[in-house]
Amino acid sequence: MTTTLLFRDDAYLREATATVLAHTPEGGIVVDATVFYPTSGGQPGDCGQIVWDGGRMSIATAVKVEGGQVALVPAEPAALPPVGAQIRQRLDWARRYRHMRVHTALHLLSVVIPLPVTGGQIGADKGRLDFDMPEPPTDVAALNEALNLIIGRDLPVTESWISDEDLLANPGLVKTMSVMPPMGQGRVRLVRIGQGEAQVDLQPCGGTHVARTAEIGRVEIGKIEKKGKQNRRVSLLLID
């Protein structure tokens, strides 16, 4: 049985019930459904708490395991809820929501810096993208202004799905050079920012995002570091 990714249908879901399917050799709790995002695509796994009849436990993160399943990783060694137990999952929502804001902001960073992306990482206060960028940008202030103008337009952030074959036939949708979108399930999720003529971005992504760009708040481009012959790392900070 694969784990149902509840956050995929509703990124704003903060609590949910699940059944314990198994325990991993490392002490993880495999569940049939998860509100916790598992570490992947540069986005950290969610943390929070689970409670069940007779116990409670802090969860440090969530990870993918074999067979399309997700395991919740306890913050400290402790007695695990038994297989078959019903648990209640509760997110650290403040942290998750900041990840959503940063992740969506990074999609927009790839709009104002339209270069191939070679890597990325999401945090609660900042994120970064690595670009195939031989020379640094000459006007960071202009990039900041362009980025915040898009955010201020309060564009909708929506999703759709295409087949693996359609994605392979449209390689321009993939901005990342280092990581290919997850394929093999028959379809790939696309995240769209803006609609119709107001669309500014469309790319494959499995992460969590805010529903509208204005939720991101003001951001600022931070350090731009040289990483290799042509790679440059651009940091992005949440200001409010």
> Largest Cα–Cα distance of the chain, in whole Å?
60
What is the percent of the chain with per-residue pLDDT over 90, rounded to a whole number?
80
Q: 198: domain CATH number?
A: 3.30.980.10
Whether 124 and 220 share a structural domain:
yes
72 and 135 together in one domain: no
Same domain, 131 and 147: yes
**Domain co-membership, 87 together with 125:** no
59: domain CATH number?
2.40.30.130
* 22, pLDDT greater than 60: yes
Distance of CA 36 to the CA centre of its chain: 11
Same-domain check for residues 158 and 79: no
The per-residue pLDDT for 41 is 87
pLDDT (0 to 100) of residue 9? 92
Based on the domain organization, do 136 and 175 belong to the same domain?
yes
C-beta neighbour count of 68 within 10 angstroms: 12
Q: Give the structural domain span for 215.
A: 96-238
Region 9-14: mean pLDDT is 96
Q: Which of 57, 76, 91 is the last residue of a domain?
A: 91
* CA 90/CA 72 separation, integer angstroms: 12
Q: What is the pLDDT of residue 184?
A: 52
Residues 110 and 187 in one domain: yes
pLDDT of 108 > 90? The answer is yes
What pLDDT, on a 0 to 100 scale, did the predictor assign at position 182? 58
Strands (E), the chain: 4-5, 15-23, 29-31, 33-34, 48-52, 55-65, 69-74, 86-91, 117-122, 126-132, 157-163, 187-193, 201-204, 219-226, 231-238
How many folded domains does the chain comprise?
Answer: 2
The Cα 183–Cα 168 span in angstroms is 10
Asked if residue 103 and residue 67 are part of one domain, the reply reads no
**155 and 61 in a common domain:** no
The 10s digit of each residue's pLDDT in 115-127 is 999 999 999 999 9
Q: Buried b / exposed e across 151-181, counting CB within 10 Å, b at 16+?
A: beeebebbeeebeeeebeeeeeebbbeeeeb
Q: Which residues pair with 221 in a beta bridge?
A: 236
Q: Scan for tokens 């809820």, then name that residue.
A: 81
Residues 137-172: pLDDT tens digits? 999 999 999 999 999 999 999 998 877 676 666 666
Q: Of 91, 118, 144, which closes a domain? A: 91
Same domain, 107 and 190: yes
Are residue 81 and residue 116 in the same domain, yes or no?
Answer: no
Q: For strand 33-34 and strand 4-5, is the pairing parallel, antiparallel, or unpaired? A: parallel
Q: What is the pLDDT of residues 169-228, one digit of tens each?
A: 666 666 564 455 555 566 788 899 999 999 999 988 899 999 999 999 999 999 999 988
Do 35 and 111 belong together in one domain? no
Give the residue from 43, 28, 212 showing the smallest Cα distance to 119: 43
Residue 203 carries which side chain, given as an amino acid letter?
A: Q
Overall average pLDDT of the 5-31 stretch: 97
Q: What is the pLDDT of residues 23-73, one digit of tens each?
A: 999 999 999 999 999 999 899 999 999 999 989 999 999 999 999 999 999
pLDDT at 177 (0 to 100): 46
Q: Which of 35, 60, 91 is the last residue of a domain?
A: 91
User: What tens digit of pLDDT does each residue of 211-238 get?
Assistant: 999 999 999 999 999 988 889 999 999 9
